[in-house]
Structure 1
Amino acid sequence: MSLNNSQLNLLNFRPWLTLLAIAWLLASLGLGWLVNSLLIIVGLLFLAPVVAFFGFRWWLERNLVSDQCPVCSYEFTGLNNSQLQCPNCGENLTVQKGHFQRFAPEGTIDVTAVEVPSQRLED
């Protein structure tokens, strides 16, 4: 029975002995660079989301535009250098240089109407 107990005790230590043997083998072969590279990869996995978060915020601050629709003066936001539609009046707009502009197909002439007061002429 004591032989069975000692075998069970060795089975409990088997994973630890395997890990110790692998560490000893790496140290004896001079594979410290492998361990260092694995630590660097794990560090980058933790650092990459933080860098991505701050990079996305920087990009969003540079490209998010808040302006008024040139047709109905409704204020909303859009991304720079993109086409969108005003949520209030439905006008197609482009965002260029931080401002909303009406989108007109090539060859369309955009005219702004001006009200002229009428005068009555007597004969």
Structure 2
Amino acid sequence: MNNNFPRFYTLNDSGLGCLLTFLLIGLLLGSVGLGWIVNGVLILFFILLLTPIIGWAVFRWWLKRNLVEDQCPVCGYEFTGFNNTECRCPNCGEVLKVEGNHFKTLTPPGTIDVEAVEVSAQALDE
């Protein structure tokens, strides 16, 4: 090969012979009356091509529907969890339950959960 001569036109025919072979086999089978084999192979090819695309779209839809991003009710740390599951806060270690797209503290049955409210002290003059 002469490396000093510039190439103006190059032909890369890798795979072209394989494609032509498949095309000729398909035409031969179609002319003999076995076109259903060609149709079956093409349908299988398109199913194998479309399955990952549809699967990825379904996975993203499921993830968008079940992934919850909220703050811990104990320490206020924001993190993500899956809906209708139990998890621990990575900051304070509190066991939380994810319900209705919010984190809630997990309390044993019979426990009354209260929230403290700060009341300012005022002197009464009488």
Q: Fold conserved (TM > 0.5)?
A: yes
User: Does 2:70 match 1:67?
Assistant: yes
Secondary structure, counterpart of 2:93 in structure 1: coil
Q: Does 1:86 align with 2:118?
A: no
Matched, 1:106 2:109: yes
SS in 1 for 2:109: coil
What is the CA distance between 1:24 and its match in structure 2? 3.8
Runs of 4+ in 1 over 3 A off after TM superposition: 20-27, 113-120
Residue 38 in structure 1 maps to residue 41 in structure 2: yes
Structure holding more helix per residue: 1
TM-score (norm: length of structure 1): 0.68
The answer for the alignment partner of 1:6 in structure 2 is none
- Answer with 1 or 2: which has the greater Rg: 1
> Hey, what's the Cα distance between the residues in 1 that align with 2:112 and 2:26?
77
Query: Gaps spanning 5+ residues in structure 2: where?
Result: 1-23
Q: 1:21 to 1:98 in 2, by over 3 A?
A: closer
| SS at 1:58 equivalent | helix
SS in 2 for 1:73: coil
* 2:53 match: 50
Secondary structure at the aligned position of 2:37 is classed as helix
- Identical-residue share of aligned pairs (%): 56
SS at match of 1:56: helix
Mark the CA change 1:22 to 1:105 in structure 2 (over 3 Å): closer, same or farther: same
Normalising by the residue count of structure 2, what TM-score does the alignment of the two structures yield?
0.67
